[in-house]
Amino acid sequence: MKKSAKIITAAFAVVLVAIMGVSLGLNVLTLSKISTLESAAEKNDPSRENGVMIVNRYEVKSTEQISDAYISGDSSGLDERDKATLDTAKKILKDIIKKGMTDYEKEVAVYEWIQKNIKHDNDILLVVQDPNADTYTPQGVLAGKTAVCVGYATTFRMFMQMLGIDCKVVHDNDLSHTWDLVKIGSGWYHTDLYFDTPKSKFAHFNLTDSMRANDYSWDESIYPRGNSFEYCYAVMNADNIKNAYQIPKKLKSMLDKKDPFFSYKMTDPTDIQKSEIRVMLDKISESVFGAQNYENYYFSYNTIQNGKDFIAYASIVYPDPEDDNSIIDEKTEEKIRKAIDKVFSNLVENNDIIFDEGEIGEAATSKAVK
Amino acid sequence: MMKKIISIFALICMVFTLGSCGSKGVDFNSLKENMMSADDSLPSMKTVSDKSENAETLFKSLSDFDYSGIESFFLAYASDGSPYEIAAVKLKDAGDLEKLETTLNNHIGDRVRLYKNYAPEYAKKAEKAIVISKDNIAALIMSDKSDEVKKAFEKSFK
């Protein structure tokens, strides 16, 4: 009896030790998983400017080491890649920044240089990207001259910081886009170079918080507020209008010149006059940009109130010439028709061709040939 | 008594053996070919798989599921960035299927957000993408002919 009691006790002890061992193992495993999750969360903490991952791919990285080296004149602490970036950036600033420029003029100069020289990296849409492609840091952008949104925003910020102008990279709440928040005078303004490149110059330049909030939301607690109109591009460059009925003619002239941005100002309008402006823009959007002639154009508009001034602003993205057949005039069209007729003079009209819905384009082309 | 115990044990073993057969009978290469050929309207596609160099890194473009739990996978995507993707992932443990499906749905959400920002004309197509699964395999279909690709996926198990 004593022996069997001993065996039972020993078996019980073995089972107990085994349970404790398994439990300990599981605890260690859980702790290790928690630690991994914490480190992952810390790496993509959206409550900070740098260190966040945009579209799960592009990390926003600080480049203060480069701007600090430019300001101090001491580049000894930089690695080779940063030194090369500093050298390139120095040359660019030497070319575009003139003595006596204001901060606003410096901002415009850098904006224009980037818009002219840095192209979109279209690989952003690919599911799998080239792991060696760097289009999201100033180092990669200035070397390769192509950028995704993070590349535009961090490159612009680096230049601003080199020039001693406060600038931050803002990310939206979805972690899908970035742009800049730059301090000019005493106010902060939103500038989105990615969306203004290549053809929408100044459409997203120095916007206020409320203007930017039409397109994106962001954590306002981690960025300065941008409520000043002083250097807001739409306010600074607004044309005076007496009433809403002047807008269609001005818009037509803008379209003819392929201007990408307009801003019209009416001082101290009545509520009815304000409504007339809003309805005019709504109708233009529906009837003009809904029409076949302008169907490939992208028109966006809004209004803001600055003191007594009521401002209507809009941007137009023009289609690529290669997609826009309306740029061909009648004379050229006739020339094309004659060239075809000359070779295919024996064509017999066929009225029996039936096109399904997906072939409307081909049907239209076929008619033109005839 | 002993015989009964042995019989029950043998029966349990048999049930487990048969049950675990499942998709192990599915030839993953055939599954890929069936799914890809079901949509003849796909644009030029690039394909990566568990056989590719840096397979683990490439897999992260599709899912953040722990790669050590993956038996095999393939991912075909449009080489021009348009919203066409066909992918299938085979798990070592079918018990993780729901978790894997969640990561594939997250991937669709990421793609939709990306398109909304950078190519809004593609976003609606991407929103129509689906995730389906059977046994220990989950698939993602972003195609104009989702129904055909889905049928090809299901047919591969018969």
Interchain proximity A125–B81, CB inside 8 Å: yes
Q: Say if CB A212 and CB A289 are below 8 A apart.
A: no
Give A370's pLDDT tier (boundaries 50, 70, 90): very low
Give A365's pLDDT tier (boundaries 50, 70, 90): very low
**Which amino acid, residue A239?**
D
Name the residue among A127, A129, A177 with its Cβ closest to that of B85.
Answer: A127
Interchain proximity A124–B118, CB inside 8 Å: yes
Q: Say if CB B158 and CB B30 are below 8 A apart.
A: no
CB proximity B82 to A under 8 Å = yes
Annotate B62-118 with DSSP letters as a single string. T--S-GGGEEEEEEEEETT--S-EEEEEEES-GGGHHHHHHHHHHHHHHHHHHHHHH
Test mutation, A32, A56, A128, A171, chain B, max B CBs within 10 A? A128
Contacts of A55 in chain B (CB under 8 A): 110, 113-114
Tens-place pLDDT, residues A137-155? 999 999 999 999 999 999 9
Interchain proximity A127–B75, CB inside 8 Å: yes
Tens-place pLDDT, residues A52-100? 999 888 999 999 999 999 999 999 999 999 999 999 999 999 999 999 9
Test mutation, B56, B117, B121, B141, chain A, max A CBs within 10 A? B117
Interchain proximity A127–B111, CB inside 8 Å: yes
Question: pTM above 0.80?
Answer: no
Tens-place pLDDT, residues A300-359? 899 999 999 999 999 887 776 655 555 566 778 788 878 887 787 776 654 443 333 333
Name the residue among B57, B81, B122 with its Cβ closest to that of A126.
Answer: B81
Task: Enumerate chain A positions whose Cβ falls within 8 A of a Cβ in B.
Answer: 55-56, 122-129, 131, 149, 174, 176-177
- Percent of all residues in chain A with a pLDDT value above 70, rounded to a whole number: 81
A105/A103 Cα distance (integer angstroms) = 5
B110/B87 Cα distance (integer angstroms) = 16
B91/A343 Cα distance (integer angstroms) = 61
Contacts of A128 in chain B (CB under 8 A): 46, 48, 58, 61, 75, 77
Alpha carbon of A301: minimum distance to chain B alpha carbons (Å): 18
**Mean pLDDT on B99-121:** 90
Interchain proximity B118–A126, CB inside 8 Å: no
**How far is C-alpha A151 from the geometric centre of its chain's CA atoms?**
10
Give B47's pLDDT tier (boundaries 50, 70, 90): very high
Interchain proximity B61–A127, CB inside 8 Å: yes
Q: Say if CB A65 and CB A85 are below 8 A apart.
A: no
Prior bond to A198 cis, omega within 30? yes
Interchain proximity B119–A177, CB inside 8 Å: no
Tens-place pLDDT, residues A110-122? 999 999 999 988 7
Name the residue among A124, A127, A149 with its Cβ closest to that of B77.
Answer: A127
Task: Output the furthest CA–CA distance in chain A (Å, rounded).
Answer: 116
Alpha carbon of B58: minimum distance to chain A alpha carbons (Å): 7
Q: Say if CB A206 and CB A231 are below 8 A apart.
A: yes
Interchain proximity B85–A125, CB inside 8 Å: no
Contacts of A125 in chain B (CB under 8 A): 80-82, 114-115, 118-119, 122
Residue A27 has pLDDT above 80, yes or no: no
Interchain proximity B57–A174, CB inside 8 Å: no
Given its phi and psi angles, is residue A164 left (phi above 0), alpha (psi -120 to 50 degrees) or beta? Answer: left
Alpha carbon of B75: minimum distance to chain A alpha carbons (Å): 9
Give A210's pLDDT tier (boundaries 50, 70, 90): very high
